[in-house]
Chain A
Amino acid sequence: MSLETIQIEHVPATHRVHVALFRDVSNADFLQSQLLARNADFEYAFIDASSVASRLQLLSAVYRALTNLIDGTLQTNNVHSEVVISLSPSNNIAEAYRRWGITLGKTKDIVVAKIIYPPSLPSPSEDSTAPAPTLPTTEDIWAHLSENVKGTPVPLSDEQISKSTDWPKLRKYYALNGLPVLAKITDEAAKVKEMERLIIMRMALRGL
């Protein structure tokens, strides 16, 4: 099973994060249509892998979305779309969906993030005999994902992500072109590391 369960630091034990990476997805358009239809079965963050630089970047966005979820400060409908906009350095939600979400006819590799958390507790005065809704298990999610995403699952490692990354695009999205700090670095690997650092910083500063 290529669905990874991740323990992120400083996230309540009640919240669970799953991630996966699919290559050469043939039904990206279908997946997008399900998101647009707000089909509750398709509550995932589908992210265009070419707009992702690293695992750390992705998880930083997941962390921010979780923080907003816990604080009740979500800016979008649900925590999954919040993951997508948390990747963006700007407050323009439509633009964030365009750049980091699925693009019709273009998106090939897809990063999936799924956040499982208990629904807000009903007040105790209400019918307490009602059974607590059961949360889907990791197997349930994987079954649904592997059935509906037509692509090749691969582990979500930095190495696999880097194969999809479109750096010229990312440099534009995060305004990294012509930065003095990058001009000074000659080593290619060090440059990528520095860009990742700046990208995470841009994401953290969204909205300031």
Chain B
Amino acid sequence: MATHAPPVEFALPQVLTYPASTPPFLVAQGAEGRLYKTTHITSSRPCALKYRPSKSYRHPILDARLTKARIQAEAKVLDRCCREGVPVPAVYALDAGGGWLMMEWVDGVPVRQGINVWLGERPEDDAVPDAEVADETPLVDLMNRIGEAVGALHRTGVIHGDLTTSNMMLRPWAGGQSNGVSGEDGEKKKAVGGDVILIDFGLATQSVADEDRAVDLYVLERAFASTHPRAERLFTHVLEAYKQAYKKAPSVIHKLEDVRMRGRKKSMLG
């Protein structure tokens, strides 16, 4: 990437033009918004600022209304999750009119990256089972924690809308639970250790329909299979933990069968 032309400099949102101890750092950029790392109140409190820039192709009134509604919806969902104990970042501040939302900074790497480190950077050769297949427990544990987090989310009545292993963070454990183990093994174990924190609720909705929950799981299942084909068979552990964490899971899993048969869209519209 560095060899290409310098990245496009985006205009900063108004709020980030005021002085701060460290300059804002553009972490990620999507179709709808940009994510900056910056600070909240004091220089020692890192935070993530999600900014939805206005879209010039939309009518200004509609644009303002959509941006505002989406920021508000995301903040409300995060609030609800936090109060119910679902692992998500807290909201620090927001300005719906200004199109930004300041959230707790989650340390660590995306789950996707953790799993890939565990699996090794080899090309996809899922057909060949490893001869020296090491103890898979740490990875299975991670699957369980994912299932638990998603179960807690659905119990709360929130549908994430874009569940992927990139939208989950692995926040390292304080002490580092893999101490004692050294070498490559320890490194790999560390890669899949940590608390699972769900992030990016930009597409989240509040719903208590099993259908919506099943679609949420289906999206995760598909994303998982395409991102980590060599770990696909471990996905059942996610569903197992989901069942443990969420008592109405059986009917959702049942619905999931239907969704698998027909795909994500029920109405065949859109």
Contacts and interface: CB of A to CB of B under 8 A. Distances in A.
Q: Do A and B make up one complex? A: yes
Interface stretch (A31-39, A154-162, A193-201): A193-201
Contact of B38 (A9, A59, A180): A9
A22 B230 CA distance: 63
A142 to B, nearest CB: 23
Interface stretch (B15-23, B110-118, B125-133, B242-250): B15-23
Interface residues of A, number: 26
B82 A12 contact: no
Contacts of B95: 67, 71
A150 B98 CA distance: 41
B85 A9 contact: no
A181 B75 contact: no
A9 B21 contact: yes
B56 to A, nearest CB: 22
B92 A9 contact: no
Interface in B62-107: 72, 75-76, 78-79, 82-85, 90-98, 102, 104
B90 A201 contact: yes
B76 A205 contact: yes
Contacts of B94: 204-205
Interface string A46-81: 000000000010011001100100010100000000
B93 A9 contact: no
Contacts of B102: 204
B42 interface: yes
B92 A200 contact: yes
A10 B45 CA distance: 13
Contact of A198 (B39, B72, B82, B97): B82
A204 B19 contact: no
Contact of A180 (B72, B84, B90): B84
Given A56-B41, A201-B90, A205-B76, A10 B18 contact: yes
A8 interface: yes
B236 interface: no
Given A9-B20, A184-B85, A204 B41 contact: no
Contact of A204 (B38, B45, B75): B75
A175 to B, nearest CB: 9
A4 B152 CA distance: 43
B222 interface: no
B15 A201 contact: no
B158 to A, nearest CB: 14
A205 B79 contact: yes
A59 B41 contact: yes
A181 B39 contact: no
A12 B104 CA distance: 22
B43 interface: yes
Nearest to A62: B41
A179 interface: yes
A53 to B, nearest CB: 14
Interface string A129-165: 0000000000000000000000000000000000000
24 contacts: A9-B21, A9-B42, A9-B43, A10-B15, A11-B18, A11-B19, A13-B19, A56-B42, A63-B41, A63-B93, A67-B93, A73-B97, A179-B83, A179-B84, A181-B82, A181-B83, A181-B85, A197-B82, A200-B90, A201-B78, A201-B79, A201-B91, A204-B94, A205-B79
Interface of B: 15-16, 18-21, 38-43, 45, 72, 75-76, 78-79, 82-85, 90-98, 102, 104
Given A9-B41, A180-B84, A197-B82, 6 more contacts: A9-B42, A10-B19, A13-B18, A67-B15, A198-B90, A201-B82
Q: Which 5 residue pairs across A and B have the least CB separation, nearest first?
A: A181-B85, A9-B20, A9-B39, A10-B18, A59-B41
